[in-house]
Structure 1
């Protein structure tokens, strides 16, 4: 049975999206391509409280594709998968098709 991590407060669990290293035809792509640093939201915390005790919910939801900062986040390994924990305010934006 796999463990599931539910973030606390305004934290977000993200699985980074790794761009392919070669095309379908087998052509190797350079490591430094202009790909965005993106990830898929796996789980979100309930949010944080303001000074009056009012809950401020997290701005993203599970399944969202988000733009991540180049550095930051805490690496978390669950089973064989690698995830990253970010605070809500560290997420740069959401990506839509």
Structure 2
């Protein structure tokens, strides 16, 4: 994308797409040392920001996404469509079928 989006609220997923944002890993160790950003691992956990309405399958049945806004989910390490928000943030657009699991709290 050539221009940066100002907020994730301006993105409305279509069909069975799910918009998520990765949970940020701790940048501070248990002993209080701060880690450089390049050494912090990307977590596979994300928060669902928006969910599409679903789609109609070939039999005419309505298929709705299995996740809801606000839920914590497990996402694959690679895949999805990353979208830059503002200067630093990034959100990712996945298909509902690509989400690996819900995280119960």
TM-score (norm. length: structure 2): 0.77
> Gaps spanning 5+ residues in structure 2: where?
1-5
RMSD: 2.5
Where does residue 85 of structure 1 map in the other structure? Answer: 93
What SS does the corresponding residue of 2:77 show, helix, strand or coil?
A: coil
CA distance in 2, matches of 1:8, 1:79: 22
Where does residue 39 of structure 1 map in the other structure? Answer: 46
| Deviation digits for residues 3-57 of structure 1 (CA, Å, limit 9, x no counterpart) | 521100000000111211213652246x477x85110000000012111222110
| Greater Cα offset, 12-21 or 77-86 | 77-86
Q: Is the 8 A contact 1:36 1:67 kept in 2?
A: no
Where does residue 55 of structure 1 map in the other structure? Answer: 62
Where does residue 103 of structure 2 map in the other structure? Answer: 95
What SS does the corresponding residue of 2:97 show, helix, strand or coil?
A: helix
TM-score (norm. length: structure 1): 0.83
Residue 52 of structure 2 is aligned to residue 16 of structure 1: no
Kindly tell me the number of residue pairs found equivalent between the two proteins.
96
- Displacement of 1:83: 0.2
CA distance in 1, matches of 2:81, 2:27: 24
